[in-house]
Amino acid sequence: MSDPYIKNEVLRADLTELINSHCPIRELAGATVLVTGATGLIGSQVVKAMACVNKEQNADIQILALCRDPKKFEQVFDGLLDMENLNAYYCDINSEITYQGTIDYIIHGASPTSSQYFVQYPVETILTALNGTKNVLNLARKKEIKGMVYLSSLEVYGVPNTPNGIVTESQFGSIDPMNVRSSYSEGKRMAECLCASYAEEYGVPVKVARLSQTFGAGVDYQDGRVFAEFLRCAMEKKNIILHTEGKTLRTYCYTKDAVSALFYILLRGKTAEAYNVTNRDTAITIRDMAQYVCDIFPESGISVEFDMPENLESFGYNPEMVIQLDTSKIEKLGWKATVDLKEMFLRMAKSFV
């Protein structure tokens, strides 16, 4: 890129790689794209990817970044604020969205993401999933959009009962609806059903992306999720303290790969269908990931400790499980993961500096 309008060096390199790949983002040339949750990790990189393809390849995508906080918008998109085809739209998705202009595509990523928030504010978590998605779908229907993708989560699968925890898009495990931590999982499930229902009843061309935990360049240094906590411990030379036995095994996805997947689903996916998004080669337990971080940053001199609290529920952890998303379906669209687990941590560490 000709100048550092994306100030994070690692993220700038990621986005350059994305827009020069086979990702179909250039097919959005001349279109207006609304991104909700635009200041979040994934939403902000979706916006920045389109801004980059505009600047580097003259795509003329009109980007409408929906968010609530003007200060956060200015902070997240510092360096891009003078771009004519990037505009903020300040709105709470829990209220009716009354935007008057044209919208061709929608990427709906607005959602709470903190496990502690889910247990402290389960009502708000559920209602944001349902009412927020309803308001976005109503807007999509009114604008007669060409395509929409809803950002869902692997948590819709609950606790899988499949061999090795490998799940396709049609295999579901159990979720306890009387556990308030399920507010996020159940909210995502119902929002997906709402998407399918709008597609069937009103013809809204919406698709669903079921993302695994996603990290890499762009993650906030103070992020509370395990991958960020472990890396932060390594960088600060503090031992990693686990509050569970760390038996949960799951797969992960690099931020750039997840953003690329959203464009594949938006432009190549079938209406009213869901697609798993992860790197199948990253399967690892929480405990092993903690040790892995110690091993790939030996200069930190840290180790893994265990401290089991009595009030574990207050941490907002999910039940222990083994879950690996099968990505055969999205790979048939032409997408594939490109960044392995070690490189995820190395790039995120470099982006933190």
Q: What is the pLDDT of residues 246-267, one digit of tens each?
A: 999 999 999 999 999 999 999 9
Taking all residues of the chain, what is their mean pLDDT, rounded to a whole number? Answer: 94
User: Which positions ≥6 away from 58 have C-beta within 8 Å?
Assistant: none
Given a contact cutoff of 8 angstroms between Cβ atoms, the answer to whether 325 and 278 are in contact is yes
Tokens of 274: 């869901």
Give the number of other CB atoms < 10 A from CB of residue 144: 12
pLDDT for the residue 2: 45
Q: What is the pLDDT of residues 150-206, one digit of tens each?
A: 999 999 999 998 888 999 999 999 999 999 999 999 999 999 999 999 999 999 999
pLDDT for the residue 4: 62
Q: What is the pLDDT of residues 94-114, one digit of tens each?
A: 999 999 999 999 999 999 988
Given a contact cutoff of 8 angstroms between Cβ atoms, the answer to whether 317 and 115 are in contact is yes
Work out the angle at residue 192's Cα, subtended by the Cα atoms of residues 315 and 141, and round it to the nearest 5 degrees: 130
Q: Which residue has the tokens 């927020």?
A: 132
Q: What is the mean pLDDT of residues 67-82?
A: 95
Q: What is the mean pLDDT of residues 301-329?
A: 82
User: Which positions ≥6 away from 87 have C-beta within 8 Å?
Assistant: 62, 63, 64, 65
CA 345, distance to chain mean position in Å, is 17
- The model's pTM is 0.95
Identity of the amino acid at 242: L
% of the chain at pLDDT higher than 70: 96
Across the strands, what pairs with 62?
A: 32
Work out the angle at residue 152's Cα, subtended by the Cα atoms of residues 148 and 157, and round it to the nearest 5 degrees: 140
Measured distance CA(65)–CA(35) in Å, rounded: 5
Q: What is the mean pLDDT of residues 59-77?
A: 97
